[in-house]
Amino acid sequence: MPKYITMADVAREVGVSLMTVSRVINSKDGVSLPTRLRVLNAIERMGYRPSAIARSLATRQTGTVGLVVPDVADPFFTDVVRGVEQTAYVEDYNVFLCSTDQDPEREWTVLESLEDKRVDGVILCSSRLDDDKLREVLSQHMSVVLVNRRLKGEDSRVNTLLVDNSLGSRLAIRHLLSRGRRAVGVLAGPADSPSGRQRVQSYRAVLRDAGVSYNSAWVRYCPAGMEDGQDTARELLTACPELTGLFCYNDLVAVGALRACAELGYRVPNDLAVVGFDDILLAAMVSPSLTTCRVPRYELGTEAMRLLLSHVSSRTGECEEVVLKPELVIRASAP
């Protein structure tokens, strides 16, 4: 059990006041070089480390941020976390990682616990809270970055970081059309996912613009896991054997679809071209390898942290909205 050295210990050792030690620690001037050196020496010798807790209480800044994600193990958020962590490290912040497990109540709870810990700010990914709840809990936080979610009316208090879903959708669907796939189905992800809905909208728009007719039965909502994708793909393909292309909510769902195809005897891409979303590591690894929309997930993390810190240290408190662009990666499942 280590006994923490305090500033008073150091001051006593050197024979100066607390303030002198404090000044040295914070590299403030007003300390003669000889004194500074003696203090520095004592600090080193005694192994003194200032208590961030005490400092936080006095300065009202904790040097910590909260990162809230639906699922730590989801390969999508895994990279976001990496990005946040990396930038935090460089900027000398620590990050509280919280998983909500997709549960709004748990999301609420962790946001409160972060408030208790007096984090300097929060990065909230893919929030499942409804607008009112979200507004309420966020109003308690000093700085906020919302990732993958827009909150109307709060643009002045909340930073927003989005992926251009419409663009992704357009790239994917146009690619399929350009390859002669005119009957394109969609595994649209959770019905309550804004990004899913956005992509379906763009899907419709592209087909309309291209003068290609489509059937509303071709679009199915589904949970975002691989098993879910497999099950829903099986249903969709059985119900609509006319499909020649399939656009999936994410790569996990797409891999599920691939498995459903294998199961049903569909050859990919001959019988059915499949496009995913995100470009997780797995996408390049399955066979056939997956054509997909690459989302810059790591950059999502670094950018989120950048937005947060710039808000924290800005006197004005102005907020930004940043949109990152996906790009199409063409592989074997939809060449």
Partner DNA sequence: CTGTTAGCGCTTTCAA
Partner DNA sequence: TTGAAAGCGCTAACAG
> What is the size of the binding site for its own copies (CB under 8 A)?
54
Question: Under 8 Å CB-to-CB from 126, ≥6 apart: which residues?
Answer: 69, 70, 147, 148, 149, 193
CA of residue 3 relative to chain centroid, distance: 39
Binding mask 136-155 for its own copies (x = CB under 8 A): ---xxxx-------------
Scan for tokens 């050197």, then name that residue: 14
Kindly state whether residue 312 participates in binding its own copies, applying the rule CB under 8 A: no
Kindly state whether residue 79 participates in binding its own copies, applying the rule CB under 8 A: yes
Neighbouring-strand partners of residue 324: 163
User: Contact with its own copies (CB under 8 A): which of 7, 43, 81, 236?
Assistant: 81
Per CB under 8 A, which region of 33-41, 50-58, 212-220, 235-243 contacts its own copies?
A: 50-58
Q: 74-103: which residues touch DNA (CB under 7 A)?
A: none
Nearer to its own copies, 54 or 323 (CB): 54
Q: 114-133: which residues touch its own copies (CB under 8 A)?
A: 114-118
Q: 18-37: which residues touch DNA (CB under 7 A)?
A: 18-20, 22-23, 25-26, 29-32, 35-36
Residue 6 backbone phi and psi in degrees, to 5: -110, 170
Tokens of 235: 């249903």
Question: Under 8 Å CB-to-CB from 139, ≥6 apart: which residues?
Answer: 157
Instruction: Report what 16 binds from its own copies, DNA, none; CB cut-off 5-8 Å by kind.
Output: DNA
Query: Residue 212: how many CA atoms within 13 Å on its side-chain side?
Result: 19
Neighbouring-strand partners of residue 159: 145
**Phi-psi category of residue 92: left, alpha or beta, with phi > 0 → left and psi -120 to 50 → alpha:** left
| Closest listed residue to residue 203, CA positions, set 236, 242, 240, 246 | 246
Please give the residue ranges that form the binding site for DNA (CB under 7 A).
4, 6-8, 15-20, 22-23, 25-26, 29-32, 35-36, 50-51, 54-55, 57-60
Residues that bind its own copies (CB under 8 A): 1-2, 4, 47, 49-54, 56-57, 62, 64, 67, 71-73, 75, 78-79, 81-82, 85-86, 89, 92, 94-99, 101, 106, 110, 112-118, 139-142, 255, 281-282, 285-287, 317
